[in-house]
A and B are shown apart, each in its own frame.
Chain A
Amino acid sequence: GAGVSQSPSNKVTEKGKDVELRCDPISGHTALYWYRQSLGQGLEFLIYFQGNSAPDKSGLPSDRFSAERTGGSVSTLTIQRTQQEDSAVYLCASSPTNGELFFGEGSRLTVL
């Protein structure tokens, strides 16, 4: 389909391992967001990409978290040395300029 695609849908990892989460936005959408949704919590903003501008990283919880967006399309969120508190659903969303957000299904991360 033409929606936002995220992979993997589920990831179980051991504490201390690195993980990469991928987001393939809707073609032509200039904005891409990463959010985190923990059990019982709302949407926690992580990072925002808009076109060729420098990303807004103000929501990243620690320097173990990083993200990049290559060619203005696919984005990868990397979590290094995972901790148990990183367990959550990581949501990606894309948007045309000043338009609505379209969300992916999310990547559920479990850190044992």
Chain B
Amino acid sequence: AQSVSQHNHHVILSEAASLELGCNYSYGGTVNLFWYVQYPGQHLQLLLKYFSGDPLVKGIKGFEAEFIKSKFSFNLRKPSVQWSDTAEYFCAVLADNFNKFYFGSGTKLNVKP
């Protein structure tokens, strides 16, 4: 069965700290990869996505993620977080053979001002 693992369930950082959230998936074929974000009281929205090409993708608000095929990983990074980045972050995989999205369990990020 397909699975998406997010290793950090809850992360607390101070403003200006660097962020890296881990995401690993289990599927050997072609995948499309996504990070979604849910700000407090808001609906889920796309942060960034990888379909093909440059494995380092940049998203909104200074976020980026790197697809490392050999490691089945798609970690999310931001060099310097802000208080407004406080949210829950979900990694998702769309595997070509299954045509269905699989989500990780989410990581809650709390940025202290």
A residues near B (Cβ < 8 Å) are 31, 33, 35, 41-43, 45, 48, 50, 56, 91, 93, 95, 97-98, 100-101, 103-106
Count A/B pairs, Cβ under 8 Å. Answer: 44
A48's partner among B43, B44, B96, B100 (CB-CB below 8 A) is B100
* A105–B100 CB distance below 8 A: no
* B4-41 Cβ-contact flags toward A at 8 Å (1 or 0): 00000000000000000000000000001010100000
B34's partner among A43, A45, A100 (CB-CB below 8 A) is A100
Report the separation of the CA atoms of residues A56 and B2 in the bound assembly, to the nearest whole angstrom. 15
24 residue pairs bridging A and B, Cβ less than 8 Å apart: A42-B103, A42-B104, A42-B106, A43-B90, A43-B103, A43-B106, A45-B103, A48-B100, A56-B100, A91-B43, A91-B44, A93-B101, A95-B101, A98-B32, A98-B94, A98-B96, A100-B34, A100-B46, A101-B36, A101-B92, A103-B36, A103-B43, A103-B45, A105-B43
Which residues of chain A are near B45, meaning CB under 8 Å?
A: 103
Report the separation of the CA atoms of residues A95 and B92 in the bound assembly, to the nearest whole angstrom. 13
Interface size on B, residues (CB 8 A): 20
Report the separation of the CA atoms of residues A99 and B43 in the bound assembly, to the nearest whole angstrom. 18
Summarize B's interface: helix, strand, loop or mixed: strand
Summarize A's interface: helix, strand, loop or mixed: strand
Which residues of chain B are near A98, meaning CB under 8 Å?
A: 32, 94, 96, 99
* Contact status of A50 and B99, CB under 8 A, knowing A101-B92, A105-B43: yes
Which residues of chain A are near B106, meaning CB under 8 Å?
A: 42-43
Which residues of chain B are near A56, meaning CB under 8 Å?
A: 100
Which residues of chain A are near B36, meaning CB under 8 Å?
A: 101, 103
Which residues of chain B are near A43, meaning CB under 8 Å?
A: 90, 103, 106
Which residues of chain B are near A41, meaning CB under 8 Å?
A: 105
